[in-house]
Amino acid sequence: MGLLLTLFVFMHLGVAALGLAPARYDAAASALRRLGDRIPILEAALLILVGAQAAVGIRLLIRSGLSYRSSRCKDDGQLRYFFQRWTAVLLLAFLVFHLAMFKLWPGEPSFATVSHRFTLGGNPFLTAFYALAVAGIAFHAGNGLWTGASVWGRREGRPRLWLGIAGASGAIIVLLGFIAIRAFTG
């Protein structure tokens, strides 16, 4: 589930990063909107995927809580597991806010519309919230790939490869996310 959501985040932030060229953003956003209108199962599948991921995360949070100490991992993984749970809470709050902001307000996702909604009159707290969410997504996705590879036994004999994949995934998310933030705030 997390891998599919990470791929969606790459695509979503890639389109948002096109905000540096508003006409290109408008074309890409309109194409994606038309695709979603033609194949509504895509949006439903994405919502089911997010819901399932959130349900698993909430179950883990109930079991482990948000404290630093956890019996689930060895000392070398304590900090990563701690941040994984906290970024999950941040991402769930961000997702609810983001969906409310962009799904509940009707209209075409044009550059002007998104820019207005995103900045809300130049609100620096909103920009900081988005920046924090991008950093949280980057960590959560990268650490999730690293942890998933371990659970699936794929890291055996190739830890540097998986560390590179996890790190590159996080770096790409940060790069695209901060480009998108800059495009819509500056």
What is the per-residue pLDDT for 105?
65
CA dihedral 67, 71, 74, 80 (to 10 degrees): -30
Amino acid type, 64: S
CATH number at residue 90: 1.20.1300.10
pLDDT class of 71 with cuts at 50, 70, 90: low
Amino acid type, 45: A
Name the residue with higher pLDDT: 122 or 86.
86
What is the per-residue pLDDT for 69?
64
Handedness of CA 28, 93, 9, 123 (dihedral sign): positive
* Token pair recorded at residue 29: 């956003």
Domain that holds residue 79: 2-185
State whether residue 106 is helix, strand or coil: coil
Give per-residue pLDDT as tens, 4-49: 888 889 998 999 899 888 889 888 888 888 887 888 888 888 889 8
In the chain, how many domains are there? 1
What is the per-residue pLDDT for 168?
95
DSSP3 helix / strand / coil % (the chain, rounded to 5): 85, 0, 15
H/E stretch holding 42 reads helix 40-64
CA–CA dist 6, 87 (Å, integer): 14
Judge whether residue 138 has pLDDT over 90.
yes
What is the per-residue pLDDT for 126?
85
